[in-house]
Structure 1
């Protein structure tokens, strides 16, 4: 991992994300790119060219001044940091910035304290997760000594999701993580027998790895009343640092969790959530 992007609005949640990004940058010898979106309205930038230039210059200088104060943290010492201020106001544009700057990971803080669904619903984080082709790490709370060593990746081993799987494993490998891939078997119309599930997983892995499974990867089948409840319970059982989930782009993780039986249980998770776009 070489470059981490942190969208910054100068809030405590942005600071929380920046601190985690700093920990990762030091561990993996990466640099941090911080991005502030001015989000000026069309009326503010379309009066006339002269006034437009002066106003933009003023807001740019103000943002850079705030950056200097915001980035004055002892834990950022010796980390290469680049600053970008742009007049973006649509959060999907962060994906363009990430691609232009060859970003490996986006780190965002979230005010959501009610679990996996509430992190994303109606928030800026949801908008970034929905549109980002780069993995997004969402931090729910400040941790004194942040670490990410063991991750639980909820996955259903569909062949059409093999690209998302390979992208996830590429990042897991770069982060040198102990990976637990969890297939949650649920009652009802989606239920499959143990042998059927095993055959599906084996077929997927043969295509993805040609039978040569990475040493840091464990495949686990569990049964529970919902995907969310199963992932959360297993993450607690193995004392995982982070939960990873593939998302369906426009639908986002909020749609993935909508109406789930185990939402009330998953809501108690305070673990960071790492998302990959399918």
Structure 2
């Protein structure tokens, strides 16, 4: 894990992500890239192409660069290689473009979640990154004084398309020497017998050099609720799962378990795109 990207809007949620990123970077000798997307009003976007407000745009950019430098000097970041990046772009679009042109091993984002009509209509930049990023995304929902991941809950249906991202789960688990708890959530619409579920997981893990792990079936009315309840029951420090990255009408009608968890979980959530 050489490079960790942490987008910041200078909010307390972003600061909480930076603090976690510092702990991971020190543990693994990683570089942190702090990136701020300077979203400009429409008239200022026009200014970039020739109007008279360019000095004002540059003032905002300079202020953002100064703020990033002040973050870089925080004591908990001492000893970590920090790169500061300011881009004139929309938050999600800019982050996505940066990822496409620069290899990152992990993205860490803070999120306060959303609910009700805001969740349906506007969502959040964190959710959009979770949905589309080819790089694993760690979402921090609350302040974490010590990011000591002793218990990781990985929830899945353990289908064949999960195998590639699952290796990244094992790599993350190895980094923290965590206890890995595999769980299959069975709902009324996706019921499997205990025998069938154990066979699926046994076949799945046979392709990997597995650490010590446990596997359980958890019955619940829906998958999201099942994952959250199981994670609480097992006192998990981290919830890990894979996302299909649905977009458009498919996403609107079927929803995304990963995005729902990003919104509603209080524990950190680590997602891997299939």
Q: TM-score normalised by the shorter chain: which range applies?
A: 0.7 to 0.9
**Alpha-carbon distance in 1 for matches of 2:93, 2:131:** 8
Question: Which residue of the partner structure matches residue 49 of structure 2?
Answer: 46
Question: Which residue of the partner structure matches residue 17 of structure 1?
Answer: 17
Any gaps of 5 or more consecutive residues in structure 1?
Answer: none
**Alpha-carbon distance in 2 for matches of 1:133, 1:52:** 36
Mapped contact 1:94–1:132 kept (Cα < 8 A) = no
Any gaps of 5 or more consecutive residues in structure 2?
Answer: none
Question: Which residue of the partner structure matches residue 204 of structure 1?
Answer: 204
Mapped contact 1:32–1:81 kept (Cα < 8 A) = yes
Structure 1 length as normaliser, TM-score?
Answer: 0.82
After superposition, what is the alpha-carbon deviation per residue over 1:165-207, rounded to whole angstroms, capped at 9, x for unaligned? 22322333334332111111222x321212222222233233x
Q: How many residue pairs get matched? A: 262
After superposition, what is the alpha-carbon deviation per residue over 1:84-139, rounded to whole angstroms, capped at 9, x for unaligned? 1112215144234235332111111112277xx96x97111111111111111111
1:54, CA displacement in angstroms?
A: 4.8
**Alpha-carbon distance in 1 for matches of 2:213, 2:142:** 27
Helix, strand or coil for the counterpart of 2:36?
A: strand
Report the RMSD for the aligned CA atoms in angstroms: 3.0
Moved segments of 4+, more than 6 Å:
none
Structure 2 length as normaliser, TM-score?
Answer: 0.83
Mapped contact 1:92–1:127 kept (Cα < 8 A) = no
1:56, CA displacement in angstroms?
A: 5.3
Helix, strand or coil for the counterpart of 1:91?
A: helix
1:19, CA displacement in angstroms?
A: 0.9
Mapped contact 2:87–2:94 kept (Cα < 8 A) = no
Mapped contact 1:243–1:274 kept (Cα < 8 A) = yes
